[in-house]
Structure 1
Amino acid sequence: MEVRFDRASGEGLVQQIMQGQGTCADDLYLRRQALLFSLHPGFDTLLSLTATRNMEPFEYQLRTVRHVLANLRGRVLLCDEVGMGKTVEAGLIALEYILRGLARRVLILAPPSLVSQWREEMQVKFNLDFITYDDPEFKAHDDPWRSYPRIIASIDTAKREAHRHQIGATAFDLVICDEAHHLKNRRTQSYQLVSKLQKKYILLLTATPVENDLEELFNLITLLLPGQLETAAAFKKKYITRGDALKPKNTEELKALVREVMVRNRRSETGVILSRRYAETIRLQLSPEEMAFYRRLTHFVRGYFTGGVDKPMGGASLLTLKVLQREIGSSIEAVLPTLEKMMEQPSYAPEMRRLFAALREQANAVPHRAKADALVKLLQGLNDKVIIFTGYSETHRYLVRRLTEEGFSVAQLHGGMKRLEKEEQVRRFAQDAQVLLSTETGSEGRNLQFCRYLVNYDLPWNPMQIEQRIGRIHRVGQERDVYIYNLSAQATLEAHILELLDAKINMFQLVVGELDMILGNLKENQGFEDMVLQAWLQSLDDQDMETQMGKVGDQLLEAKNHYLAIKAIDERLLGELMPDE
């Protein structure tokens, strides 16, 4: 802590006290500073616990935070096993520094897919507002990196030439790097960016710090404390067995050095997340009218992408067509408003608007909803509280009406509700209602762990959204086993996505957090959902579609096996290098 003597302020008061007490000015300022210090407890008392909300940290997380603050000087490699709550630990450390006046400017670097999740967690759990790099206000600013005190950014964006010079010229009090294993190569732009950042404290979060070589561990630790493991050449000579880059030597000495910068909590030692998750796919057939409409709409979208449909001036955008394909995977109710907007859009060619009008007429003529019928049957057999997720507001409204008509007591959450309205609906669900109908945005930050049954009425194309839904009830602190039901209409894109995720990587049996690790290993830059959509839309027929989906599945399986291999290496190495407490 820095002690400063400000003789300019209160000079007259100082002189009066000195004359009355016969003491010197330095004595007076020291006494004043000692009094101020006495009002701020040491790191054994965490100020952050009075400021958090919607969370109850576990003892191992609090022990980690105290250790980082008191002993590791805010520079640490947090290597808890997947799903153990490294984000909670990082948030508590950040909040502790902020409350104590030790940090004002905070930069969080994360993969693009996790930026919004970080922002939500920081706001909901720690009451800390961050601006993200893709916020219009941030993008419009001339010098945003120096102007905003708390920023969350994609490291891919931060390392671009347009940004990295501004970032490098900015001093940050605390830098947090999520998925830090992506920094293991010191020759990459990402590593160089983080290495050159002006930072007082730095937290690196990863469950798998080593993949191919112990030098990767050296690189990460050097980001935290340059010189901690000497030079790269000295480290290799002293601590790596010749001929085996994954076998350490002089282990006891290396342990001591690693312990000064690393924390590793294991699931087996903490006893958290003991509950399991069980998933069941309820396969159903759409009614003939529903399937006819689904095939007609999909044929149009696929033809537009592959060139089988003429594209007159003023035709539909590719983004709009993707939206149509996503919506029809949820319900006819979801797709109808989009069709109506498109048929009334004057910028579209007349023949295009007539086509959309015909599609709307066909949709309105569909008499039954097979998926909703299957949902009602499922709920009638479950004598417990159930959360039903849908990604679309129109589907949400339809299901509220349908389930209410069927006699179910229904609470609801959606993005258009205010905070107090959401809290009231959660209380209603906890007390009286059997069913909670929720959208993704509606459930953000809600504690729903008193429920253990979840239904995916529709299936997001992004697997992380599925994981986030499940994470609302299957997370640290859930004491009961969780049951997940996926409604799957045969011969639809969503059915193929579910098959890939379930059959290839057993997604619903993964430990919390493992899915993101697997998806991060996909070799395609476009990501899983774009890979699936491309395979679906570019297939010439059903047989070709099976072949294309099979290729995506093979890549998914390869990514999972790669993750499991890395996990095994890290468990062995960290087991050797992290001494018993």
Structure 2
Amino acid sequence: MDDEDLVSVEVTHEPPDDLLKALDEGEPETAHWAGLTATRLRHGEASKELRSLAAVDEAEVKLLEHQVDAAHRALFDMNGKALLADEVGLGKTIEVGMILKEMHFRDTDDSVLVLTPAQLAKQWQAEMGEKFGLEFVCNYDDEFEGFDAHDHVIASIDTAKSDRHRATVLARDWDVLVLDEAHYVKNEDTDRYELIERISYDYAFFLTATPIQNDLTDLYNIVTLLRPGLFGSREVFHRYFIDGDQETLVNRNELQERLEQVMIRNRREETDIDFTERHVDTRTFEPSRAERELYEAVSEYVKGAYGRDQGQKLVLMLLQKEVVSSPAALRKTIEKRLYEQGELTHKAELESILEAIDAIETVTKRERLLDIVEEARERVEMGRVIVFTQFRATQDRIIERLAREGYETHAFHGGHSSREKEEIVAAFEERGGVLVSTDAMNEGRNLQFCNIMVNYDLPWNPMKVEQRIGRIHRIGQKRAVYVFNMALEDTVEEHVLDRLYHKIDLFQQSVGELSSILTRLEDSGTSFEDEIFERLVSAGSEVDLENDFDAMAVDLREQRDLARKVEEFNSGVFRGFDLGADDE
């Protein structure tokens, strides 16, 4: 940034007396802000201070020292081009929010483009607005009219690179480019990489917790987009920093020195954040005879239908998930197949499944859920519990059952508007009770005021499970977190929990480790859910199924070990970084 953009009031290199006094005598919140400001002043220069620091609403976000320091370094030490590579959970989005807030104060943000994975676009929009008062239009908003019609845009990178919008994106000279999950552009042969390479911008901030996923080429490609020439050509980079088999890093000190010019990486153990404990309680229940017969009927149908037509995989997978969620969710899909798709060869099988649904008088999991929420009502402030389900029909039935027992209930799903979602969360915080949510809650909601959640039904993708838990187990949670998993005995749900998730210590792993495991699996061409489904439909017996899941657990442990080796390699590359700490 130019100095004329950074004209500030005169400051000294020592914190003012009133700030020091606030640290010693002030209220906790006053002391917190005073501490951040004092540290910035101690390191600052007259034209290089964060003017916007005091303007951040303390009620919306409590900035941490490493976040403020990262924002300052990215803006001033790295001239507005930085790779923010903090470990998962340390608040990289907050760091970017602070950066953009500061640029707004300095009038250097006339045009800002934030590119994210599709599922994170609305989350970014909400966080920038709610926490920093920065208004963006999102490409999923009704009022979005194109990349040339708005000056502050948040969009999925795939929308930006599409034939419809690509030319417009590239025609503009953007003041600021933000790229979330920057490892998505690690491959220089992709349209995503080419788009970022060709975008015109003055300042850029890339975010990723995993700058190296497979080898150092990932890092080279990402850094070269930000700082072309920093590492020289790809051939020179490989010859100078990596030995022949790419397993040993050479000239490490010089690599670190160059990375320090562009990358900021904070690690959990190097911050003052004290994450609370996580306790996981898996409860399995014996299904009623009617529920057992329904499960077996659906499983038999799914196996047969998949054997006849593998193109039905998605809907058959859905049926297998719905049958352990609720009869209501299953009924909806079965009836759709019967009545919306015309004549079906297997109409009799589907009608038989509907009869099995009608035979169920009591839904075991729904009744056992009452035990958990009653424990919470007796022991937890305002009895707050979050219950997650994948299906709206299941959500409706849970709400009805809880309401009959006199519980305060709140429903949260993707059909609500942004304002309605805010009102629902506010009511849950103010009045307590039970919030029953679909996975729409994964979109950036922070619910640290609650510390109990229930997985009523279980996503087969472990990252989705961690995203659910992440709503409450995150920075700002002050209590131990309790996670309850519910499953019916001898169903795919129990197999996934017992033979996969628990055997690979899913619930105690970091999000970064999970991401690495899943990325390696999906790079082989198979998704986690596909793998589960294939084993489910091809097993010849219950024993075969158990053995198949055991074998999958072994494969996943191997992937986890590989992921840890990559992390060890990363640590070798990143070790010794100046993380902005005060060395006095």
Task: Give me the TM-score of the superposition, normalised by structure 2.
Answer: 0.78
Query: Percent identity, aligned pairs only?
Result: 34
Shift of residue 93 of structure 1? Answer: 2.6
SS of equivalent residue, structure 2 residue 482: strand
Q: Tell me if structure 1 keeps the 8 A contact 2:293–2:356.
A: no
Matched to 2:209, the amino acid is A
In the alignment, the residues of structure 2 paired with residue 183 and residue 212 of structure 1 have an alpha-carbon distance, to the nearest angstrom, of 13
For 2:82, the equivalent position in structure 1 comes to: 76
Moved more, 513-522 or 438-447: 438-447
Q: Does 1:307 align with 2:308?
A: yes
Moved more, 383-392 or 512-521: 512-521
Matches within 5 A, 1:85-104: 85-97=91-103, 100-104=106-110
Shift of residue 373 of structure 1? Answer: 2.4
Q: Does 1:330 align with 2:325?
A: yes
Distance change >3 Å, CA 199–CA 245, structure 1 → 2: farther
Shift of residue 47 of structure 1? Answer: 6.8
Q: Tell me if structure 2 keeps the 8 A contact 1:131–1:148.
A: no
Shift of residue 563 of structure 1? Answer: 1.7
Q: Tell me if structure 2 keeps the 8 A contact 1:273–1:477.
A: no
Shift of residue 400 of structure 1? Answer: 2.0
Q: Tell me if structure 2 keeps the 8 A contact 1:272–1:476.
A: yes
Distance change >3 Å, CA 419–CA 350, structure 1 → 2: closer
Q: Does 1:258 align with 2:259?
A: yes
For 2:432, the equivalent position in structure 1 comes to: 433
In the alignment, the residues of structure 1 paired with residue 580 and residue 243 of structure 2 have an alpha-carbon distance, to the nearest angstrom, of 23
For 2:569, the equivalent position in structure 1 comes to: 569
Moved more, 360-369 or 404-413: 404-413
Matched to 1:362, the amino acid is A
For 1:201, the equivalent position in structure 2 comes to: 203
Q: Tell me if structure 2 keeps the 8 A contact 1:80–1:86.
A: yes
Q: Tell me if structure 2 keeps the 8 A contact 1:121–1:445.
A: yes
SS of equivalent residue, structure 1 residue 521: helix
Moved more, 115-124 or 267-276: 115-124
Q: Tell me if structure 1 keeps the 8 A contact 2:499–2:553.
A: yes
Distance change >3 Å, CA 337–CA 51, structure 1 → 2: same
Matched to 1:558, the amino acid is E
Moved more, 279-288 or 116-125: 116-125
Matches within 5 A, 1:236-251: 246-249=248-251, 251=253
Q: Tell me if structure 1 keeps the 8 A contact 2:210–2:512.
A: no
Matches within 5 A, 1:115-514: 118=124, 121-122=127-128, 125=131, 128-132=135-139, 150-154=153-157, 171-181=173-183, 183-184=185-186, 191-210=193-212, 217-232=219-234, 246-249=248-251, 251=253, 254-307=255-308, 319-345=314-340, 347-349=341-343, 352-353=346-347, 355-382=349-376, 383-384=379-380, 385=383, 386-417=385-416, 422-423=421-422, 425-441=424-440, 444-514=443-513
Shift of residue 562 of structure 1? Answer: 2.0
Matches within 5 A, 1:528-539: 528-539=528-539
Shift of residue 232 of structure 1? Answer: 4.9
Moved more, 159-168 or 281-290: 159-168
For 2:557, the equivalent position in structure 1 comes to: 557
Shift of residue 482 of structure 1? Answer: 0.8
Distance change >3 Å, CA 228–CA 509, structure 1 → 2: same
SS of equivalent residue, structure 1 residue 520: helix
Moved more, 570-579 or 559-568: 570-579
Matched to 2:338, the amino acid is M
For 2:64, the equivalent position in structure 1 comes to: 58
For 1:15, the equivalent position in structure 2 comes to: none
For 1:36, the equivalent position in structure 2 comes to: none
Distance change >3 Å, CA 495–CA 47, structure 1 → 2: same
In the alignment, the residues of structure 1 paired with residue 237 and residue 119 of structure 2 have an alpha-carbon distance, to the nearest angstrom, of 35
Q: Tell me if structure 1 keeps the 8 A contact 2:116–2:154.
A: no
Distance change >3 Å, CA 163–CA 409, structure 1 → 2: closer
Distance change >3 Å, CA 281–CA 223, structure 1 → 2: same
For 1:22, the equivalent position in structure 2 comes to: none
In the alignment, the residues of structure 2 paired with residue 533 and residue 446 of structure 1 have an alpha-carbon distance, to the nearest angstrom, of 30
Matched to 2:359, the amino acid is A
Q: Tell me if structure 1 keeps the 8 A contact 2:52–2:105.
A: no
SS of equivalent residue, structure 1 residue 204: strand
In the alignment, the residues of structure 1 paired with residue 234 and residue 528 of structure 2 have an alpha-carbon distance, to the nearest angstrom, of 36
State the aligned residue count: 531
In the alignment, the residues of structure 2 paired with residue 577 and residue 218 of structure 1 have an alpha-carbon distance, to the nearest angstrom, of 18
Unaligned runs of 5+ in 1: 5-40, 310-315
Shift of residue 368 of structure 1? Answer: 1.5
Distance change >3 Å, CA 256–CA 400, structure 1 → 2: same
Q: Tell me if structure 1 keeps the 8 A contact 2:275–2:474.
A: no
C-alpha RMSD of matched pairs (Å)? 3.9
Distance change >3 Å, CA 183–CA 354, structure 1 → 2: closer
SS of equivalent residue, structure 2 residue 575: helix
SS of equivalent residue, structure 1 residue 532: helix
In the alignment, the residues of structure 2 paired with residue 443 and residue 190 of structure 1 have an alpha-carbon distance, to the nearest angstrom, of 25
In the alignment, the residues of structure 1 paired with residue 544 and residue 143 of structure 2 have an alpha-carbon distance, to the nearest angstrom, of 45
Once the two structures are superposed, what CA deviation does each residue of 1:90-149 show, in whole Å capped at 9, x if it has no partner?
Answer: 3433454456443354444445665565555456555544545x89998xx9xx565665
Matched to 1:88, the amino acid is I
Once the two structures are superposed, what CA deviation does each residue of 1:394-414 show, in whole Å capped at 9, x if it has no partner?
Answer: 222222222233344434434
In the alignment, the residues of structure 1 paired with residue 372 and residue 3 of structure 2 have an alpha-carbon distance, to the nearest angstrom, of 66
In the alignment, the residues of structure 2 paired with residue 334 and residue 392 of structure 1 have an alpha-carbon distance, to the nearest angstrom, of 6
Once the two structures are superposed, what CA deviation does each residue of 1:365-421 show, in whole Å capped at 9, x if it has no partner?
Answer: 211111122222233334223222222222222222222333444344344445565
Once the two structures are superposed, what CA deviation does each residue of 1:497-526 show, in whole Å capped at 9, x if it has no partner?
Answer: 323542343121123454233322223334
Q: Does 1:517 align with 2:516?
A: yes
Distance change >3 Å, CA 223–CA 290, structure 1 → 2: same
For 2:18, the equivalent position in structure 1 comes to: none
